[in-house]
Amino acid sequence: MRECFKCEGLWLDVSSFEKICADREQQSAVLGAASPAPTHPAKDVVNKVSYVPCPECAQLMNRVNFAKCSGVIVDVCRGHGTWFDRDELSLIVEFIRGGGLEAARDKEKAHLEEARRQLEAERLKTSGSLNMWGVQQSEDRLGGIASARGLLKILLD
């Protein structure tokens, strides 16, 4: 963990941030050490968007909305860690404690399930073949027709 005393930002490596996200004791420590709310509005820092380099590899980090829905935009280097501007880590901990992470996971699961259903519907739609009239038939229907044809052959012979 590194802290910038000038801007009050915080750098956490990947494993430290994962521990905070998973451990209520760690979250309490973050909330207990949180900076007091500013008594005056921040100057130009709030609205200024800039990409910052990773302190480990110096590559520009990606700006990401934590959990895709928290509203807290953090700077992330996938392999090394996350940069939090002042109070962002506290906001994330509050989001997690308020059930935001579980809600985001549930939303993502529902989205993946819907995508799976759509893929399955497309697969079924395209898995059929054309009959002699050019109409698409599913494999199940073709199997049923073949079985019926075999049964008729046995009965009529």
Same domain, 69 and 7: yes
pLDDT band at 139 (very low <50, low <70, confident <90, very high): low
Contacts 24+ apart (CB under 8 A), 42-46: 42/86, 45/7, 45/85
Same domain, 29 and 89: yes
Same domain, 50 and 111: no
- pLDDT for 75: 95
Same domain, 57 and 112: no
Query: Which residues of 115-154 form beta strands (DSSP E)?
Result: 129-130, 136-137
Same domain, 90 and 128: no
Same domain, 73 and 20: yes
Mean pLDDT of the 13-39 span: 70
Same domain, 56 and 92: yes
Same domain, 41 and 90: yes
| Confidence (pTM) | 0.59
**Structural domains in the chain (count):** 2
More reliable by pLDDT, 23 or 82: 82
In which domain, by residue range, is 119 found?
A: 103-156
More reliable by pLDDT, 137 or 69: 69
